[in-house]
Amino acid sequence: MDRDFGRGLYIDGQWQQSRSGRSFPVTNPADGSVIAEIPDAGAEETRAAIDAAHRAFPAWAARPALERARILMDWSRAMEAHQDELARLMTDENGKPLAESRGEVTYAAGFAQWFGEEARRVYGEIVPAATSLKRIWVLRQPVGVVGAITPWNFPAAMVTRKVAPALAAGCTVILKPAEQTPLTAIAIVRLLEEAGIPPGVVNVVVGQDPVAIGDALLDDPRVRKITFTGSTEVGKHLMRRSADTMKRVSLELGGQAPFLVFADADLDLAVQGAIASKFRNTGQTCVSANRIYVEEPVVDEFAHRMAQRVKEMRVGRGTEPGVVVGPLIDRQGYEKVKLHLEDAVRQGASVATGGRVYESGGGFYAEPTVLVGVEERMVVMREETFGPVAPISSFKTEAEALERANATPYGLAAYAYTRDLARGVRVAEGLEYGIVGLNDGMPSTPQAPFGGFKESGQGREGGRQGMDAFLEIKFVSVGLG
């Protein structure tokens, strides 16, 4: 795999430098070393990419779905075939342990496969009319040029979760990956090029200043859709700014996931689920268990078993064998984890295991930590930590657990562990969240709709529903005379 990213912009089928010739460094969060220099693009390059995507749209939309599907299937197989190289690149720029990077490549390839399959199922409808002299057709057509903005925490999967359904639907795309992790995105778009994507159908614009690129996308009326994963703050900004040209928006924003454990749960399974949810990607996921609520009679036992398991987890560089918790993405992430931990301890929480947040050899690290005796007033329970800190609090009744779980403006993912079927149904239905893991700490999969209630976003990605975001509905009323 080519490790030269000097021509990392992809516009109208051409890999190129920025117009100014300026570039910026991408660093390895494990040690701060520079991995690559990539072009620093702005509004001008973004406008050129929009021109290309706009020109390419009619021919791409007109292609038979089966042909678009074949390209997506080939893309999926190419990602799988390059799993090790892609994983290595991802670990270098994002920090996550290699095994997780490999898993993400499979997850990312899964979206290309799933939407390759779904491309052929964009069905319309024929609705019975009120008179014999009319026919009613309902068609689904691609929305047009799409601006796709992705975050650094899943450098491959967030790209394919957006780009694959857009392409399947017949849309063309300008992809803007996060400035921290553009290399994986560039590498997988190179594979898409090899799979035969025509010039202009997918364009990649990377730059240090996301506002310049974002504004160029937002201001242009030819961009009909913005699909974004990232912070709630930026998501709200994009939604507000989309209003002027009435762009469609899909937003996957922050979470504040509660993780409920009832006394009748299989505690080992619950511990395993909590660890999978909490520590994957060093706690830097929007579905990460942010608040663990355990029913009073089993809280000590649960915390004990979890701390025993967490104590064994090794922190370090993602490329080192045996490491399961990598570095935090940057200093800002580190400061946040530190603040959450210090605030909790100052207000009376105790550290059952872990607790150290430190700089080492140019990287920022946090030990996987279990906090007990945590209360709602602590910052760690009120804000998304985005780090490997598991705060445990106790509850007395099911009603209290649900009330506390729902007492947040966010609504992305929630988890509940119980062996009581009726309780499981009540709780799954009562949680105001777009995703519920019922006795499951890892619910995300390409074939299910992923997305949030409330301030966690708008629209769904993945699943059959993931196509809807890229389709317009057209009603044709046919008069027969």
Residues that bind ligand ADP (CB under 6 A): 149-151, 176, 178-179, 210-211, 214, 230-231, 234, 237
- Active-site residue, from 118, 286, 295, 367: 286
- CB closer to ligand ADP out of 231 and 447: 231
Closest by CA position to 384, among listed 409, 348, 416: 409
**Amino acid (one-letter) located at 411:** G
Q: Which is nearer to ligand ADP, 51 or 179 (CB)?
A: 179
C-beta of 146 vs 294, nearer to ligand ADP: 146
Contact 213, 18 (CB under 8 A): no
Angle subtended at Cα 432 by Cα 430 and Cα 435, rounded to the nearest 5 degrees: 100
For residue 58, the minimal CB distance to ligand ADP (Å) is 27
Structure tokens at 405: 């779980």
Closer residue to ligand ADP in complex, CB, 178/201: 178
CA angle 72, 76, 82 (to 5 degrees): 140
CA nearest 288: which of 250, 337, 234, 322? Answer: 337
β-bridge partners, 149 = 176, 228
Q: How far is the CB of 240 from ligand ADP (least distance, A)?
A: 11
Work out how close the CB of 36 gets to ligand ADP at its nearest, in angstroms, rounded to a whole number: 17
Instruction: Give least dist CB 410 to ligand ADP, A.
Output: 15
Full DSSP string of 109-153: HHHHHHHHHHGGG---EEE--SSTTEEEEEEEEE--EEEEE--SS
The contacts of residue 335 (CB under 8 Å, 6+ apart) are: none
Least Cβ distance, residue 62 to ligand ADP (angstroms): 30
Rounded CA separation 37/44 (Å): 20
Residue closer to ligand ADP by CB (options 179, 420) is 179
In the complex, the smallest distance separating the C-beta of residue 465 from ligand ADP, rounded to whole angstroms, is: 22
Element spanning 163, H or E: helix 157-169
Look at residues 107, 70, 68 and name the one whose alpha carbon lies nearest to residue 86. 107
- Is residue 252 among the annotated active site residues? yes
Neighbours of 59 (CB within 10 A): 12
Residue 286 designated active-site: yes
Which CB, 83 or 208, lies closer to ligand ADP? Answer: 208
φ/ψ bin of 123: left (φ > 0), alpha (ψ from -120 to 50), beta (otherwise)? beta
- CB nearest ligand ADP: which residue? 214
The Cα 190–Cα 13 span in angstroms is 10
Listed residue (177, 182, 169, 312) closest to 248, CA to CA: 169
Q: Pick between residue 211 and residue 476 the one whose CB is nearest to ligand ADP.
A: 211
CB of 184 to ligand ADP, least distance (A): 13
CA distance 457 to 449: 13
Q: Which of 93, 252, 384, 455 is catalytic?
A: 252
Of 13, 33, 17, nearest to 25 by C-alpha is 33
Residues 298, 309: Cα–Cα separation, whole Å: 17
- Tell me the catalytic residues: 252, 286
